[in-house]
Structure 1
Amino acid sequence: MRTELVSEPGDPGRPNEDFASVGLPASGQGGSLVVLDGVTPPEDGGGCLHSVPWFTARLGGALTELTVSLPDVPLAELLSRALTRTADSHAATCDLSHPRTPQATVVLARWSPGSVEYLVLSDSALLVESTDGTATALLDDRLALLPRSALATDALVDATVRNREGGFFTAAADPSVAARAVTGTLPRDGVRALAALTDGAARWVERFHEGDWADCLALLRAEGPRSLVHRVRALERADADRLPPRRGKTHDDATVVYVELPPSPPPA
C-alpha cells in the first residue's frame, strides 16, 4: 500500500490552515483519510479567540479518531459528532454564531475490504481512480456554480450565501451541515487509488488548466504529491505579474493526500 501526504503553506510567514491525516487501523482492515482546508478569517477574528489552525487541528483530529474507531457509523454522522465536539470546546469563550467563526472545507474517505465511502463538503476535491484506469472527480460544486456577482465582497458572501440555502456550506459550528455534504459508497474492488486535494493544490486543474483530473491523478501516480504542489507554485509565480490580477490569493495553502489501495482480498 502506498500513501503520500504533502501540505505546504501559501506563505511561509503564516501558519498553514490546512489539515491532513491518514488513519490505518491496527486490524489492517482498511483505513481512512481526512483533508480540511481552513477558511481564512476576517481581520476582526470572526468572534473567536482561536485561530483557524486551532480549529482545523481539533476538527481534523476528531475526524481521524472517529473514522477509524467507529467503522460502522456513516461519515456524515461522524462529521456531525466531530463538529459538536469541536464546538463544545470553545462555545463558552467564543461567538459561534458569527458567520466567519472558524470553519473549513472537508474531504473524508474510508475504505474497508468491501467498500470505499466518501464525503466532500465545499471546494476541496476527492479523485478516484478505478481499476480500469478511469478517473472520477467527486466534488461539491455549489460554490463554483454561484454567479461572480454573489461573491463580489466578503461581506456579501457572509450575508447571503455562506452556509445558506442557495449558496454553499462549510464545516463550522453547526453539526447539521454534515447532512449537506456530498456522500456516497463505491465497491472496494473497483477502486485502485484515491487523492484528496485542497483548492490550493487543485489549482493545477481548476485555475491554470494544465490538465484534467485524469492528468492530475497520472501526475500523482508518477511523481507524487510534492511534484504537483511544486508545479502549482511555479505557475503561481509566473501568474503573479499578469494583468488584470486574478481574484483570490496569489499563493494558497496546498495539501494533497494520495493513497494507492492494495488489491481487495478474495471472498472468504
Structure 2
Amino acid sequence: MRTELVTEPGDVQRPNEDFASVALPASGRGGVLVVLDGVTPPRSGTGCLHSVHWFTARLGGALTELAVSLMDVPLVEVLSGAIVRTARSHGEGCDLSHPRTPQATVAMARWSPSAVEYLVLSDSMLLVESPAGVVTPVLDDRLARIPRAALATDALVDTHLRNKEGGFYTAAADPSVAERSVTGSLPRAEVRTLAALTDGAARWVERFEEGTWTDCLTFVRQRSAQALVDRVRELEREDAEARVRLGRAKTHDDATVVYAEL
C-alpha cells in the first residue's frame, strides 16, 4: 500500500489551518484518511478564545481516532461525535453560537476489506479511482452554486448563507451539520486509489485549469503529492497580479493532499 501526505501553509508567517492524517486500525485490515481545511476568520473575530489551527487539530484528531476505533459506526455519526468532543474542549469564554466560531471543511474516507466509505462537507474534495482508471470527484458544490455577488461581504454570508438552509455547511460546533455531508459507500473491489485535497491544492484544476480531476490524480501518482503543491505555488506566483480577475482573496492558500493506493 502506498500513501502520501503533504500539507503546506499558504504563508510561513501564519499557522497552517489545514489538517491531514492517514491511520490504520490495529488489525491492519483497512484504513482512514482525513483532510480538513480551516475557515480563516474575518478580522472582526469569531467569539472564541481559540484559533482555527487549534480547532482543526482537535477536530481532525477526534475524527481520526473515532473513525479508526469505531469501524462499524457510519462516518456521519463519526463526524457528529467528533464535533461534540471538540465543542466540549472549548472553555466558558467561547461563544459557540457565533456564526464565525472556528470551523472547517471535511473530506474523509475509510476502507475495510469489503467497502470504502466517504464523506465530504463543503469545498474540500475526494477523488475516487476505479481499477479501470475512471476517476470520480466527490464534491459538495453548495458553496460553488452561490452567486459570487452574494459572497461580497462576510456579514451577509454569516447571517444568511453559512450553515443555513439554502446556503452551505461547514463543521463547527453543531453536530447536526454532519447530516448535511455528501456520503456514500462502494465495494472495496471497485476502488483502486483515493486522493483528498483542500481547495488550496485543488486550484491546480479549479483555478489554473492545468487538467481534469483524472489528470490531477495521474499527476500525483507519477510526480508526487508534493509536486502538485509545488506546481500550484509556481502558478500562484506567476499569476499574483491577476488575483482580482480570478477572484482570489490571497496569492497563496494552505494546501493539502492525501493520496492512498488501496
1:260 partner amino acid? E
**Shift of residue 92 of structure 1?**
1.9
Per-residue CA distance 1:219-243 (angstroms, 9 max, x = gap): 0110110000000000000110237
Distance in 1 (alpha carbons) for counterparts of 2:191 and 2:145: 28
Matches within 5 A, 1:187-226: 187-226=187-226
Matches within 5 A, 1:154-165: 154-165=154-165
**Contact between 2:83 and 2:172, CA under 8 Å: does it hold in 1?**
yes
Normalising to structure 1: TM-score of the pair?
0.96
Distance in 2 (alpha carbons) for counterparts of 1:244 and 1:148: 13
**Shift of residue 15 of structure 1?**
0.4
Per-residue CA distance 1:37-75 (angstroms, 9 max, x = gap): 000012133100000010000000000100100000000
Paired position in structure 2 for 1:259:
260
Distance in 2 (alpha carbons) for counterparts of 1:244 and 1:175: 36
Per-residue CA distance 1:183-215 (angstroms, 9 max, x = gap): 000110010000000000000000111101000
- Classify 1:243/1:67 alpha carbon distance in 2 versus 1 (closer, same or farther; 3 Å): closer
**Shift of residue 93 of structure 1?**
2.2
Distance in 1 (alpha carbons) for counterparts of 2:219 and 2:243: 29
What is the DSSP-based 3-state SS (H/G/I as helix, E as strand, rest coil) of the residue aligned with 1:144? coil
Normalising to structure 2: TM-score of the pair?
0.98
Paired position in structure 2 for 1:25:
25
Distance in 2 (alpha carbons) for counterparts of 1:146 and 1:47: 26
Distance in 1 (alpha carbons) for counterparts of 2:189 and 2:157: 42
Paired position in structure 1 for 2:251:
250
What is the DSSP-based 3-state SS (H/G/I as helix, E as strand, rest coil) of the residue aligned with 1:226? helix
Aligned residues: 261
**Contact between 2:207 and 2:246, CA under 8 Å: does it hold in 1?**
no
**Shift of residue 152 of structure 1?**
1.1
Distance in 2 (alpha carbons) for counterparts of 1:214 and 1:19: 24
Distance in 2 (alpha carbons) for counterparts of 1:190 and 1:243: 40
Distance in 2 (alpha carbons) for counterparts of 1:228 and 1:155: 34
Q: Flag as ranges the 4+ runs of structure 1 deviating above 4 A.
A: none
**Shift of residue 90 of structure 1?**
0.7
Matches within 5 A, 1:8-157: 8-157=8-157
Paired position in structure 1 for 2:237:
237
Distance in 1 (alpha carbons) for counterparts of 2:113 and 2:234: 39
**Contact between 2:130 and 2:193, CA under 8 Å: does it hold in 1?**
yes
2:210 partner amino acid? E
Larger mean CA deviation between 244-253 and 176-185 belongs to 244-253
Distance in 2 (alpha carbons) for counterparts of 1:156 and 1:124: 22
**Shift of residue 149 of structure 1?**
1.8
- List runs of 5+ in structure 2 lacking aligned partners: none
Distance in 1 (alpha carbons) for counterparts of 2:91 and 2:161: 24
**Shift of residue 78 of structure 1?**
0.5
**Shift of residue 25 of structure 1?**
1.2
2:2 partner amino acid? R
Distance in 2 (alpha carbons) for counterparts of 1:175 and 1:57: 17
1:95 partner amino acid? D
Paired position in structure 2 for 1:178:
178
**Shift of residue 91 of structure 1?**
4.8
Q: Percent identity?
A: 73
- List runs of 5+ in structure 1 lacking aligned partners: 262-268
**Shift of residue 115 of structure 1?**
0.3
What is the DSSP-based 3-state SS (H/G/I as helix, E as strand, rest coil) of the residue aligned with 2:5? strand
Paired position in structure 1 for 2:7:
7
What is the DSSP-based 3-state SS (H/G/I as helix, E as strand, rest coil) of the residue aligned with 2:21? strand
**Contact between 2:131 and 2:192, CA under 8 Å: does it hold in 1?**
yes
- Classify 1:251/1:243 alpha carbon distance in 2 versus 1 (closer, same or farther; 3 Å): closer
Distance in 2 (alpha carbons) for counterparts of 1:161 and 1:8: 29
Distance in 2 (alpha carbons) for counterparts of 1:176 and 1:128: 26
Paired position in structure 2 for 1:168:
168
**Contact between 2:77 and 2:178, CA under 8 Å: does it hold in 1?**
yes
